[in-house]
Amino acid sequence: MTSIEHSPLTRKLSAFVALSDVELDVLERLHQRRRSFVAGREMVHQGQSARAAYILSAGWVCSYKLQADGTRQIVDFQIPGDFLGLRSVLLRTSDHSFEPIVDIEAAEVLTSDLLEAFAQTPRLATAILWAASRDEAMVVEHLVGIGRRDADARMAHFLLELGSRLALVGMGGKDGFDCPLTQYHLADTLGLSAVHVNRVLRQLRESGLVTFRDGHVTFHDYGGLVELAEFDSAYLDQTGPLLK
Amino acid sequence: MTSIEHSPLTRKLSAFVALSDVELDVLERLHQRRRSFVAGREMVHQGQSARAAYILSAGWVCSYKLQADGTRQIVDFQIPGDFLGLRSVLLRTSDHSFEPIVDIEAAEVLTSDLLEAFAQTPRLATAILWAASRDEAMVVEHLVGIGRRDADARMAHFLLELGSRLALVGMGGKDGFDCPLTQYHLADTLGLSAVHVNRVLRQLRESGLVTFRDGHVTFHDYGGLVELAEFDSAYLDQTGPLLK
DNA sequence: CGGCCATTTGACACCTGTCAATGTCTGTGG
DNA sequence: CCACAGACATTGACAGGTGTCAAATGGCCG
């Protein structure tokens, strides 16, 4: 049905697996229970046990961990088409907080509905688990970035990864994308101070590589960025293990 | 059967879920296909698609990613009782390499055997997935450590976490544990240089907190270390979501 | 207009990396 | 038994990347 306009999640999964009409239908039905959250107010606090998962349909969210000394480390961002708290419902775990960066729209998915959908359409289950697995690969890549790349490469890599993810749901391309993040978000993501983030951004801009300004990221020299970041999108692109 | 001596994995899972005799039996049967690997020789190279998973029964392994510039980032360690490449077989993903740190003993688990075991004993499946989920939480905590802790706290946190994990399989306690890692391993894990690792270790030793020497870690002031690292073992201890 | 927030910039300190040399131990071969 | 090579650990000197502190700028909104 509605082959005209699909949800971002559908769009993303379809890029990797050809889903049947039945599967598409089940997938769309997971989006029924719509909810909204306002920017800035924590959706889930770390340690709180999750009741449901969400499929983000509009807006950006970040997941992070707070430390006793007040600093925070952003672990990941969720953009339209991403699951939010998937693991937390399958197994209560994943002890971090979620905060909408802008006002968001999300579909609430009850554990029971999800399991039922999985039972009905195993290929859909595999596709969703593939997506979850890809999220994990991103966390690992994030770890590598913080551990072994200097600030410039880290920033470049982050922007490239974000661009690729957004492109997958039609929200950007090799020329750039809209981005509601502040430099503080970038700092908490990359393990830098906000001041240094600003310096790095200036340097990347003055090198003619990329501009981050007024809520928009513009790639001026995509190839140059890729080289600086040693960006290899294999961990994002891999066509699923399931294309049977 | 053999209620006398269980495998480390059994021991670990039993700390969180009371497994029935049937479940214990299925679990032990997963250990039938024994294999050995020698220290230093890469078991799996990143990008290579995995045929099977392993349950480590003796020895230490590390999983890491190599970068184009030759540096490496260790993502995680596997100690006895840990799964190795579990995700890689369920879904081909998790693009990193594995290397035994010492000679190891492992049980090879074919995907089919694993799925069959899961089908037979759902509670066992949940327990194993819980363990996998805990591994993920450790990666996240690792990320936080590299991003937001200074070298001293990072080292302290790492040693404490390792100690807790080992204690769970009877290989250490609050006084210390045997540890085959070199300072280079620590450096590649914590995102530091080997030289700086040495400085940090010296400082921790001279502060009377912990000694790392001759393959053994000795906690001299456990409470002090916990405070320095802001170590909160909640993400390790959480009793499963499944104790029904 | 007057706060408030994000951004920007400069000065300075310090944590950490790099380079280079030395020490220790182990295993190997003469 | 000794000489030697190789791996790991240790140390010092120095440079540089990043954090911190402080202040100025600019946009947005009540």
CB A239 within 8 A of CB A204: no
This prediction has a pTM of 0.92
CB B192 within 8 A of CB B186: yes
Token pair belonging to A174: 């090799």
Give the confidence band of B239 by pLDDT, cuts at 50, 70, 90. low
Interface of A with B in 184-223 (CB under 8 A): 190-191
Among B69, B92, B144, select the one facing A73 at the smallest CB separation. B144
Q: How far apart are CA B92 and CA A70, in angstroms?
A: 38
Residue ranges of chain A whose pLDDT lies below 50: 1-3, 241-244
**pLDDT over 90, % of chain B:** 64
Interface contact flag, A65 B144, Cβ < 8 Å: yes
Q: How far is the CA of B141 from the C1' of C9 (A)?
A: 34
- CA of B51: how far to CAs of A238, B44, B129, B149, in Å? 17, 10, 19, 37
- CA of A150: how far to CAs of A147, B102, B192, B199, in Å? 9, 31, 12, 21
Nearest-neighbour CA in chain A from B53: distance (Å): 16
> Sheet holding A72-78: strands in order across?
A72-78, A61-66, A97-100
Query: What is the predicted pLDDT for the residue at B238?
Result: 64
Give the confidence band of B234 by pLDDT, cuts at 50, 70, 90. confident
Nearest-neighbour CA in chain A from B217: distance (Å): 24
What CATH number does the domain located at A4-132 have?
A: 2.60.120.10
Tens of pLDDT along B143-189?
Answer: 999 999 999 999 999 999 999 999 999 999 899 999 999 999 999 99
Sign, CA torsion A98/A101/A103/A105:
negative
Question: For chain B, what is the mean pLDDT?
Answer: 89
Q: How far apart are CA B87 and CA A142, in angstroms?
A: 18
Instruction: Spell A21-58 as b/e; 16+ CB within 10 A means b.
Output: eebbebbbebbeeeeebeeeeebbebeeebebbbbbbe
Query: What is the predicted pLDDT for the residue at A101?
Result: 96
Nearest-neighbour CA in chain B from A4: distance (Å): 31
What are the extents of the domains in chain B?
A: 4-132, 136-236
Residue nearest to nucleotide C25 (CA to C1'): B214
Tens of pLDDT along B87-109?
Answer: 777 666 657 889 999 999 999 99
B226, exposed or middle or buried, with CB in 10 Å at 0-12, 13-18, 19+? middle
Does B66 contact chain A (CB < 8 Å)? no
Query: What is the predicted pLDDT for the residue at A93?
Result: 60
Of A137, A125, A143, nearest to A238 by C-alpha is: A137
3-class secondary structure, B141: helix
> Sheet holding B210-213: strands in order across?
B172-173, B176-178, B216-219, B210-213
**Chain A residue with Cα closest to B242:** A91
Question: For chain A, what is the mean pLDDT?
Answer: 89
Query: What is the predicted pLDDT for the residue at B49?
Result: 67
Query: What is the predicted pLDDT for the residue at A238?
Result: 64
Query: What is the predicted pLDDT for the residue at B130?
Result: 83
Interface contact flag, A92 B140, Cβ < 8 Å: no
Residues of A in contact with B149 (CB under 8 A): 67
Interface of A with B in 95-124 (CB under 8 A): 95-96
Q: How far apart are CA B51 and CA B169, in angstroms?
A: 27
Query: What is the predicted pLDDT for the residue at B127?
Result: 86
**pLDDT surpasses 70 at B242:** no
Among A139, A230, A234, select the one facing B139 at the smallest CB separation. A139
Tens of pLDDT along A133-175?
Answer: 889 889 999 999 999 999 999 999 999 999 999 999 999 989 9
Q: Best mutation site among A140, A189, A242 for testing chain B: the one with the most B CBs within 10 Å?
A: A140
Interface of B with A in 162-181 (CB under 8 A): none
β pairing state of A216-219 and A176-178: antiparallel
CB A30 within 8 A of CB A55: yes
Q: How far apart are CA A144 and CA A167, in angstroms?
A: 23
Q: Spelled out in words, what is the top-level CATH class assigned to the domain A136-236?
A: mainly alpha
Of B192, B199, B195, B225, nearest to B210 by C-alpha is: B225
Asked whether the domain spanning B136-236 has the same topology as the one spanning B4-132, the reply is: no
Among B95, B141, B230, select the one facing A234 at the smallest CB separation. B95
